[in-house]
Amino acid sequence: MSDRFGPGGTSIYSPVSGTNFDTNVGMFDPSSYIKDFMGKNSYPPTVRDIQTGCEISSTSVVDYNLQILQREGYLQRRREVSRGIELLGETATSTLRNLISIPVVGSIAAGEPLPLANTEQWNDTDFDNVDLPPFLTKGKENVFALRVKGESMVDALVGDGDLVLLEAIEQPQNGDMVAAWLKDREEATLKHFYLEGDKVKLVPANSYMQPITVAAANVSVRGRVVGVVRTM
């Protein structure tokens, strides 16, 4: 077991993970705090949450101790996501009961439109499912997931291979990111939606790509994006 500590820190022992940690301001057991936080909220804390909740002097101390937990195999971190802490092994057991199952119904273009199965036929039993914490769906019901193909939404932090979580709706607000079905092509695309009179403009979040403008009667919105699960 590691016994390395941060500069000027004091070693303490965590009974949850069985690991020594560094602290500059008294007792600091991040594994216990993370587990309690996720049990109450069904989503992981940010580094700032841990700093505040454990009354730690700085986020750098939190980060150092999280590195120890990750090195020892008790959690993994996705630094590009603010709540990218995932507990592993027995430490995660109590949080797994809170996960919800979301059907992954196919792929969608973030570039040129591509064919998508008729959403009226979507059924949870027909597709693979992904188990996710409830906070990712923002409390929405009738949520499904699509795998993104393409780079047209990168400025909205949606990249190739990511999963977008969508609430099944038909009447979005201007500016919403939607899965838009183009009836004449029988294809779907992921874009920002803008209704302009009898036209709909589908706008990418990529300065190198151009909007798609079509007749409003030719567009059927299948869902509005409520969350993103990013790939590494």
Catalytic residues: 152, 191
Q: Give kind and range of the element (H or E) at residue 49.
A: helix 47-53
In terms of Cβ atoms closer than 10 Å to its own Cβ (0-12, 13-18, 19+), residue 61 is: buried
Identify the bridge partners of residue 212 per DSSP, sorted by sequence position.
202
CA nearest 116: which of 125, 126, 107, 124? 107
In terms of Cβ atoms closer than 10 Å to its own Cβ (0-12, 13-18, 19+), residue 195 is: middle
Q: Give kind and range of the element (H or E) at residue 66.
A: helix 59-71
